[in-house]
Structure 1
Amino acid sequence: MAKRDEIECWLTDMDGVLVHENKPLPGASQLLQQWRDQGKPFLVLTNNSIFTPRDLSARLKASGLDVPEEFLWTSALATADFLASQSPGGSAFVIGEAGITTALHEAGFVMTDTSPDYVVIGETRNYSFEAITRAIRLILAGARFIVTNPDATGPSAEGPMPATGAVAALITKATGMEPYVVGKPNPMMFRSAMNKIGAHSENTGMIGDRMDTDIVAGIEAGLHTILVLTGISDQAEIDRYPFRPDEILNGVIDLVDGEPFAVGIDDNLMPEEPVV
């Protein structure tokens, strides 16, 4: 794994790293521009499979961040990339929204509920009992079970709501079949992202805010891992896990040239409070 000054390519999570509640976090815009100025390939990653890259780019721009769609890599894109490599020109029954259906169409897949090769479960705000029942029956009939991401809940203004992992658990209970999950923490998502930008694990860094997805997947993919404290993680959360990132920073602002350098874990020091 490279030291920070040896990193030539970057992967970064989106929520909790670059944005929080639709507002850019300190240093996010400057860091993205710094990478562009330095000619360093990068991708912004998200486990959210609802939106297409074009939709996400527009949402980020409205939040104050300029991230063209070609710099975005979603669990939907990673899923479509994986399935296209497994079964070129295959077919799928899909529960999900534009993010996953568009990605699969563009990968050459046919959407069908008649003897599909795969049942693919993605994120949606409109889960249908009828569609879930159909998915269960198709899996029992032999379709392979794929899930875009494992998140059991997602955020909303009113509190947590059931997400892809929760619906997948329901289907697993009904079928006895465990899905293959493509998104984080599966390092497959990072490998497909690196393939997209021609990166190699030896000189790629990963920035995330979650130990259980971003950091563990980065470690397993052989990347230089950086945990920022602008998301859900604090020292108590870090201490729950037997592994550690290469660096722990207040936020991405500490990666912007000219900003004060934040300590890494080797210094056995932690910032007292995360940047918010």
Structure 2
Amino acid sequence: MKHRSYYAPHGGHPPQTQLLSDRAVFTEAYAVIPKGVFGDIVTSNLPFWHDTRLWVLARPLSGFAETFSQYIMEVAPGGGSERPELDPAAEGVLFVVEGEMTLTLAGERHHMMPGGYAFIPPGSDWQLRNESAAPVRFHWVRKAFEFVDGLEVPKAFVTNENDIAPVEMPDTEGRWATTRFVDPADVRHDMHVNIVTFQPGGVIPFDETHVMEHGLYVLEGKAVYHLNQDWVEVEAGDFMWLRAFCPQACYAGGPGPFRYLLYKDVNRHPALRLGSR
């Protein structure tokens, strides 16, 4: 299996000598949460999760991005949950960035390592346990599944990004590619969580402006991102949070690949009444 590099926060606390200014920004169109923010004092706990803490990267906010939440979970050895998801309408994606864990899904055990990816449909019976000797850190993306009459709920699956060939974007000579875990034509799915890779010098050559909301967690490398009318530098461990229609483009700075975990909502009619999603 090819080795991949994924950035994962470890917490801690900055010294009193550190400067207060940082790269964190929250605007009406986007937010950037730099990796230095993920210290011990901003962690949370969840009911029925043991020996576990988490950093909340995104949650639905009125007038901003409203479709998803995203966490970085840190589960100590022996920790986990027998009741991880309390909302029967929530679907989820898990993506492991460091360590190992055991996901039990509908009674079947899955040993997940870095690069491991699981899609968990709403109403699933699942449990998670860290049976290793070191902490495991993983992303958990949650969305209220949008049921459609006559359309079945997609099935659960577990895989690893190393087992999936990236798809090159047309006319980019391989400088821009996407690792897709779900067929874009499969309209049963109402969200995609993919990995986007840019080789050094690769670009999004125009300001994308679209209805999909985004969460972008930088797994590796660095880049300059154009968000709305601002240029911001981002690096491994940073999180970008984009509301619908925020213009976005980027330039990968090198020296290695620039890679991020990308959430977007797809394949559903936009709600025509506020609060009805």
Normalised-by-shorter TM-score class: under 0.3
Q: Structure 1 length as normaliser, TM-score?
A: 0.28
Higher relative contact order (CA 8 A, sep 6+): 1
Between Structure 1 and Structure 2, the one with more strand by share is 2
